[in-house]
Structure 1
Amino acid sequence: MDITAAIYTLVLYKLVLLGIGLWSQRRTRNTDDYFLGGRQLGPVVAAISYGASSASAWTLLGMSGVAYVLGPAAIWIACGSVSGCAVAWLWIGPRLMRHTGERKQLTLTAFLAEDHRGERDRSIEITVSVIILISFIFYIAAQFQGAANTFSGAFNLPLAESLLLGAAIITIYTFLGGFWAASLTDTLQGILMLCAALLLPAFAFDAVGGWQGISAQAAQALGDVSMTAGNAGLAALGFVAGCIAVGIGTYGQPHLLNRFMALRDKRALRQAQFIAIGWMTLIFLGMFSLGVLGRFLIPEIENPETLFFEMSNLLLHPVVAAVLLAAVLSAIMSTADSMLLVVASTVSHDLRLQALTPGRELWVSRIAMVSVAVFAVIIALSLPATIFERVLFAWIAIGSAFGPTVFAKLAGARPAHRAVRESVLTGFILAVVLYLLPSTPGDWAERIIPFCAASVVLLLRPSRLGRLVQA
């Protein structure tokens, strides 16, 4: 890669993001603007910023790396992610937009803590807030690690210095503005990600020699890799179920669900549904294809998560490769900024620290962002793990803790406060325990059992069935 071209591209890109952040600050007049953009989000921004925040670094780096290792069997992960997006937009989105809009709720925590009379349970607010803080620190650490790998690989910098540089850039950018800045920049980043997901696999397909070249080299490149990664019987069923279950985490992510809460009307929702599902499909199929084709072009690679960069350097002009480098950084920032914003709303709004400093709520939010960024850097430096594993832990923990209650409430059930609290804790604690076991991180048990157990808790506890929340 041409280092000079990469530097110029990134500098220009950062200036554009800075301009968006400064412009967005003019539209932020109150907490409703700061946390939800005044509920005036349009379909393109809502859909693509949702996708960019959901996909993050693990899609461009992790998904392509997993596809390189597993081959065709990795398609099940892509299917799970796309199906999760579809369920979220087609079922959860319409109901959550209506429910939170009618009640003027700014955060997912407020929705989870509310009962059928509109009263909020303080213990649930605190429990949910603590879980968000713990999980998102790990999740943001994964994004910082992705930024560090990017800088280290592109500019030959030490990993620790690269991590600190990437974290500083993300934190400073997020510090500039609220929801509008995050959503607009995420949209730009999502467009760059889509270009990368279409461009690089297309060049790889041509370099392999098209379908004829794939047919000629398939036996040597793919070997005996199967659609179940060599598993058979119940093991194969568990492998497929575990891969598809990646999409379960989607249903409880606050930084994704707040896009539904911020949509301006039903028409914007309908248009965004088509855009979001289409974007997600192209991104995951592109990275899956890149990983599989990478086995043909680069038979041996030390770290599969660097495949994206290796293929860029191999196939593309240095300037184009520099643009794709910006796309990876875009994927990282699009998740990190959204999560830092959620953390800010959790600390200042849900934990009500703004009450201690009336009139300074935005400053409380910004201080929270910086504090979480520091903790995330410490974790990224002290707890080594691959990007994929660390993201899966936080993704599954949040999804298992909140997803069952989101479904139950939007389906019209009225679970008691105690049932919600126990369900949330069950999903989260089980996800943590299974992650810590030596044989389960990333497998079907970690992805499925916590969500199912949390759902069972809701079913066993007494609740009332209310009016179905219609779209």
Structure 2
Amino acid sequence: MQGNTIIIATLVAYKLLLLGIGLWASRRVGSEGDFFLAGPGKDGGGLGAWTAGLSYAASTSSAWVLLGFTGMVFTQGFVALWLVPGIFGGYMLTWLVMGPRLNAETRERGHITVIDFLVADAGKWARTIGLVAAALILFCFVFYIAAQFQAAGNALTEVFGMSATEAILLGAAVILIYCLLGGFLAASITDALQAGVMVIACIIVPIAAVNAAGGLEAVMESLRFTAPQSYFSATGGAFGMAGIGAAMGLLGTGLGALGQPQLLNRIMAVRSQSERRRGAAITVGWGILIYSGLVLLALSGRAMALDTGGESLFFAAASAYLPAAIAGIVIAAVLSAVMSTVDSLLLAAASAVSHDSGLRWSSPKRGLLMGRLAMIGVAVVAVLVTLYAPTDIFSRVLFSWVALGAAFGPSILTRCLGWKVKGGAVLMAVLAGFIIAVGAYNIDGSLADVIEKWGSWAVGLIILTVGRDRS
């Protein structure tokens, strides 16, 4: 009872802080560019290195890292670690390879979304590509947001014993109210705050778990006696091409970052190239702390045979190994962080409807109103998906992550590298990458996993190479 009181009090305080940030940021929104990208290029506009770096980091992770990745290491073992170099590769490619042109051209040409950047030289194909891109973003983000709602629901159920439906509806309502109050600046600041919360939690809880297990040496000793041999295998116990496929499939997950609007928007909005480089270092440093802590937590939980399904491990460990007061604060803070991730997704979905689709509104205020209404619509559909199409958090997020990455990543990357590609080829690459990724996702087996992550990219790059304008 004492723990629940602390959790409720912390949740209320955290949400009041988010509302305050939203209200403060709302006074700095005077245009569509301000609302969707914090107005980079103007005096005082854009994001600083810490806000951009931490908000990018939080937007890549949250529920699927704290809950999904930890659960995967807990249940499957060392094979899950192939995700880590893939994720860090995505960090480096987006910030350091794609970032220079993405950031510079946004300030020079006034792009508001990453789709603006994608279609800037597409000529007569620009509107068609924009419509297709908007449809794909909405489709994928419904599943992505559903995963976040499910994570919030799982956490509320774990902590308060609520029914799954009540927990999901409550989490969605809190998220939606906050999202409707602020734009991109508010979302970025709160995501940066979320990243800080995650770091603290991912240091405290793993340390407590390792200490409870008797130290790292005791953890590994216990695993050697209790875990199957496949737990320590880099291929999950698979051999030959099946083992290589398992590793390559997980490694290729990092490619998804190259096509995520909610991530690339952060790089577009950074105030300067020097702050972009600092933002990259901040993101990488954050990732090192987070992934190191969560791997230790998963191994410790497995060694002590915590009674959890895997994706609830973080909350179970906090409750088991921390004093009630500290556990209550950590659980509430992480729960709030998981829920607040949706703001960036809803904002990107709203911009897809009101801006990327090419629709024209009678006034800027009407455009912003339609964007907010789109947020509500996407949230409602995502709740329905969460309630009636249940699946584990990890696979639901990876489906939308990989599909969007395959659709947009090759075209955005090649444009950042200076390629000029005919608009028709860009459209074909977008559709081909998406269709191959979605089709392969629905087929079992390691070969299908490789095709989903790598084959979709390969086909897209081939199409772009053939359609390259070399004049």
State if a TM-score over 0.5 links the two structures. Answer: yes
- For residue 10 of structure 1, report the CA deviation from its aligned partner: 0.5
Residue aligning to 2:239: 232
Deviations 1:90-137 (A, max 9, x none): 111122101222111111111112217x77621111111110111111
Matching of residues 4-15 of structure 1 within 5 Å: 4-15=5-16
Match of 2:228 in 1: 223
Q: Determine if the alignment matches structure 1 residue 256 to structure 2 residue 257.
A: no
Pair 1:25 & 2:26 matched? yes
Check 1:285–1:306 CA distance in 2 against 1; reply closer, same or farther (3 A cut): same
- What's the TM-score once normalised by structure 2's chain length? 0.94
- Given that residues 221 and 299 in structure 1 are in contact (C-alpha distance below 8 angstroms), is that contact kept between their aligned partners in structure 2? no
Deviates more, 1:229-238 or 1:48-57: 229-238
1:69–1:445 distance in 2 versus 1, CA, 3 Å: farther
Q: Do residues 42 (structure 1) and 43 (structure 2) align?
A: no
The 1:358/1:200 distance shift into structure 2, 3 A limit, reads closer
Aligned partners of 1:281, 1:86: CA distance in 2, in Å?
Answer: 13
Q: Deviations over 1:168-197 (max 9, x none)?
A: 111110000101110111111110011111
State the partner residue of 2:68: 62
Residue 178 of structure 2: which of 173, 194, 207 is its match? Answer: 173
Residues 1:318 and 2:319 aligned together: no
Task: Report which stretch shifted further, 34-43 or 291-300.
Answer: 291-300
Are 1:204 and 2:203 matched, yes or no?
Answer: no
Q: Distance in 1 between matches of 2:363 and 2:110?
A: 23
Number of matched residues?
463
User: Which amino acid in the other structure matches residue 20 of structure 1?
Assistant: I
> Which one is further off, 366-375 or 203-212?
203-212
The question of whether the paired residues in 1 share the 8 Å contact of 2:8 and 2:332 is answered with no
Gaps of 5+ in 1: 467-471
Q: Does 1:436 align with 2:442?
A: yes
SS, match of residue 228 in structure 1? coil
- Give the share of equivalent positions with the same residue, in percent: 42
After superposition, give the CA deviation of every residue in 1:132-172 in whole Å (9 maximum; x if it has no partner). Answer: 11111111111111111111111111101111110111111
Counterparts of 1:12-411 in structure 2 under 5 Å?
A: 12-39=13-40, 40-115=46-121, 121-224=126-229, 225=231, 226-298=233-305, 300-301=307-308, 303-356=309-362, 359-411=365-417
Instruction: Quote the Cα distance in structure 2 between the aligned partners of 1:86 and 1:318.
Output: 39
Which of structure 1's runs of 4+ aligned residues deviate more than 6 A?
none
2:54 partner SS: helix
- Quote the residue 1:469 is aligned against: none
Q: What TM-score results when the alignment is normalised by the length of structure 1?
A: 0.94
Q: Which amino acid is the alignment partner of residue 59 of structure 2?
A: S
- Residue 376 of structure 1, CA deviation: 0.5
Question: CA 1:177–1:215 in 2, change beyond 3 Å: closer, same or farther?
Answer: closer
Q: Name the structure 1 match of 2:464.
A: 458
Describe the SS at the equivalent of 2:250.
helix
Provide the C-alpha distance between the structure 2 equivalents of 1:249 and 1:97, rounded to a whole number of angstroms.
19
Deviations 1:399-422 (A, max 9, x none): 000000011111111111110000
1:54-91 CA-to-partner distances (Å, cap 9, x unmatched) read 11201000011000012222211122112211221111
Distance in 2 separating the partners of 1:323 and 1:295:
24
Question: Alpha-carbon deviations, 1:346-401, whole Å to 9, x = none?
Answer: 11112244525553222111111001100111111111110001001000010000
**RMSD after superposition:** 1.9
Work out whether residues 53 and 331 of structure 1, in 8 Å CA contact, stay in contact via their aligned partners in 2: no
Give me the whole-angstrom Cα distance separating, in 1, the residues matched to 2:467 and 2:22.
47
More displaced 10-residue stretch of structure 1: 91-100 or 306-315? 91-100
Q: For the Cα contact (< 8 Å) 1:193–1:330, is it kept in 2?
A: no
Moved more, 399-408 or 360-369: 360-369
Structure 1 residues 442 and 368: alpha-carbon distance in aligned structure 2, compared to 1, 3 A threshold: farther
Q: Which amino acid is the alignment partner of residue 140 of structure 1? A: I
| Structure 2 residues without counterparts, runs of 5 or longer | 41-45
d(CA) in 1 for partners of 2:462, 2:467: 12
C-alpha separation in 2, matches of 1:111 and 1:4: 48
Question: Against the structure 1 CA distance between its residues 236 and 254, is the aligned structure 2 distance closer, same or farther, given a 3 Å change threshold?
Answer: same
Map residues 412-431 of structure 1 onto 2, 5 A cutoff. Answer: 412-431=418-437
Matched to 1:319, the amino acid is: A
**Secondary structure of the corresponding residue to residue 65 of structure 1:** helix
Deviations 1:207-254 (A, max 9, x none): 111133134323123331212211122222111111111101000000
SS at match of 2:239: coil
8 Å Cα contact 2:14-2:336 kept in structure 1: no
1:206 is matched by which residue type in structure 2? N
Q: Does the 8 Å CA contact 2:127/2:357 hold for their aligned counterparts? A: no
Amino acid at match of 2:218: G
Q: Secondary structure of 2:62's match?
A: helix
Structure 2 counterpart of 1:31, one-letter code: E
Question: SS of the counterpart of 2:361?
Answer: helix
| One-letter amino acid of the counterpart of residue 286, structure 1 | G
C-alpha separation in 1, matches of 2:339 and 2:371: 18
Quote the Cα distance in structure 2 between the aligned partners of 1:358 and 1:25: 15
Please state if 1:3 is matched with 2:4.
yes
Q: In terms of mean alpha carbon deviation, does 413-422 or 96-105 score higher?
A: 96-105
